[in-house]
């Protein structure tokens, strides 16, 4: 395998993390909606926590994206 | 990727003492954002008894931030509201100016200020610096008790203190990185689909046309998503800054 091929495979593997973060973000919003439909009165007060969970789980996907970009363009 | 290139506005570099101090397109768009922000606030702060639409828009943002401070920090949060408000509005306006589709006019394209980590990292370190200053100002050296969670057993301390310390020190990086990567990724995505449209049309044939049309529909969808991401990222930046300030004010 050439170095270039290994680089592309590595970047592709790093992109798996982005998809997994998508699962995480979906889980955060899905669980919030599930709880919010059971008790709509309490939902508005929890929006801050919703976005904290969203931010934490999104960050991991963004880091996976950064790793893919670093492998593609920075690593020589 | 030319859209991310930082270059002097008039093509001339101004070098003073070995440093390139040219007025770049990044600086130009920060000025644009500042002017837009100043116009928005000047039009919104007329203090009329019966507010017009503009005043309602400005006041609703102000009360949104004020409410966020109240919920996350409590009554002491009021004095941080101006800072959080400025940073929220700057990021929001910079993000939205960055995705304006002005590139339809040849030779004119907006520059996304927040798609550079140098800008977002400065904003993040500013927030982090304020957190440190507030923490040490209010609590002195007692601020270090932030690294010791309540109720943790003593034998766990050698493990938990380094972990808490690292998770505290990584905050400015995650704050700056999140905004920078979210904006950059969105712009790259739009560019990739844009190049699909052009390449599909160049390739010709029924398949090329289909690819172009599908990519164009995708661009519309991604643009809508980008507008959402612009607002969410500004909100998340402000929210996390207020949470970190809450840590500094109340020490867990």
A-B C-beta contacts closer than 8 Å: 34
Average pLDDT over chain B, rounded to whole?
A: 89
* Residue B170, helix vs strand vs coil: coil
From B72, B181, B236, residue closest to A65, measured CB to CB: B181
d(CA B124, CA B173): 7
H/E run at residue A2: none
Q: Which residues have C-beta within 8 Å of that of residue B17, sequence separation ≥ 6?
A: none
Phi-psi region of B16 (alpha: psi -120 to 50; beta: other; left: phi over 0): beta
- The whole-number pLDDT of residue B107 equals 72
pLDDT tens string A24-74: 999 999 999 999 999 988 888 888 889 999 998 999 999 999 999 889 888
Q: Best of B239, B241, B244, B245 to disrupt the A interface by mutation (most A CBs within 10 Å)?
A: B239
- The whole-number pLDDT of residue A23 equals 95
What's the gap in Å between the CA of A32 and the closest CA on chain B? 17
> Hey, CA dihedral for B243, B245, B248, B251, is it positive or negative?
negative
Sequence ranges of the domains in chain B: 2-250
What's the gap in Å between the CA of B182 and the closest CA on chain A? 7
The CB density around residue B14, as the number of other CB atoms within 10 Å, is 11
Structural domain including A20 reads 3-74
pLDDT tens string B111-135: 889 999 999 999 999 999 999 999 9
Torsion of CA A47, A53, A56, A59, to 10 degrees: -70
From A45, A52, A66, residue closest to B239, measured CB to CB: A52
- The whole-number pLDDT of residue A4 equals 87
The answer to whether the beta carbons of residues B8 and B14 sit under 8 Å apart is: yes
Those of residues 37-76 in A touching chain B at CB distance below 8 A are 45, 48, 51-52, 54-55, 58-59, 62-63, 65-66
As a whole number, mean pLDDT of residues B160-168 equals: 91
Q: Which residues have C-beta within 8 Å of that of residue A75, sequence separation ≥ 6?
A: A7
pLDDT tens string B32-55: 999 999 999 988 888 778 888 888
Q: Is the pLDDT of residue B237 over 90?
A: yes
Specify the number of domains making up chain A.
1
């Amino acid at each position: 395998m050439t170095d270039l091929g290994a680089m592309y495979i590595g970047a592709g593997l790093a992109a798996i993390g982005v998809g997994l973060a998508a699962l995480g973000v979906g889980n955060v919003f899905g669980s919030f909606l599930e709880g919010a439909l059971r008790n709509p009165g309490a939902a508005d007060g929890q929006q801050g926590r919703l976005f904290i969970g969203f931010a934490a789980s999104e960050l991991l996907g963004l880091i996976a994206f950064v790793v893919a970009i670093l492998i593609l363009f920075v690593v020589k | 990727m030319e859209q991310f290139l930082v270059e002097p506005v008039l093509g001339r570099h101004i070098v003073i003492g070995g440093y390139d101090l040219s007025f770049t397109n990044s600086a130009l768009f920060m000025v644009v954002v500042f002017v837009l922000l100043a116009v928005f606030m000047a039009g919104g702060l007329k203090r009329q008894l019966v507010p017009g639409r503009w005043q309602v828009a400005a006041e609703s943002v102000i009360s949104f931030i004020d409410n966020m401070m109240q919920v996350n920090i409590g009554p002491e949060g009021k004095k941080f509201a101006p800072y959080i408000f400025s940073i929220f509005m700057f990021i929001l306006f910079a993000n939205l100016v960055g995705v304006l589709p002005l590139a339809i006019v040849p030779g004119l394209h907006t520059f996304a200020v927040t798609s550079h980590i140098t800008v977002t990292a400065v904003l993040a370190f500013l927030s982090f610096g304020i957190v440190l200053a507030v923490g040490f100002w209010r609590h002195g050296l007692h601020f270090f008790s932030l690294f010791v969670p309540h109720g943790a057993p003593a034998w766990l301390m050698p493990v938990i203190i380094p972990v808490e310390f690292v998770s505290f020190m990584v905050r400015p990086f995650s704050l700056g990185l999140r905004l920078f990567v979210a904006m950059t990724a969105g712009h790259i995505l739009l560019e990739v689909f844009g190049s699909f449209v052009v390449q599909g049309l160049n390739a010709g044939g029924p398949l090329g046309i289909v690819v172009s049309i599908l990519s164009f529909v995708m661009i519309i969808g991604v643009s809508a998503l980008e507008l959402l991401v612009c607002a969410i990222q500004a909100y998340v930046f402000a929210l996390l800054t207020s949470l970190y300030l809450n840590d500094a004010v109340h020490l867990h």
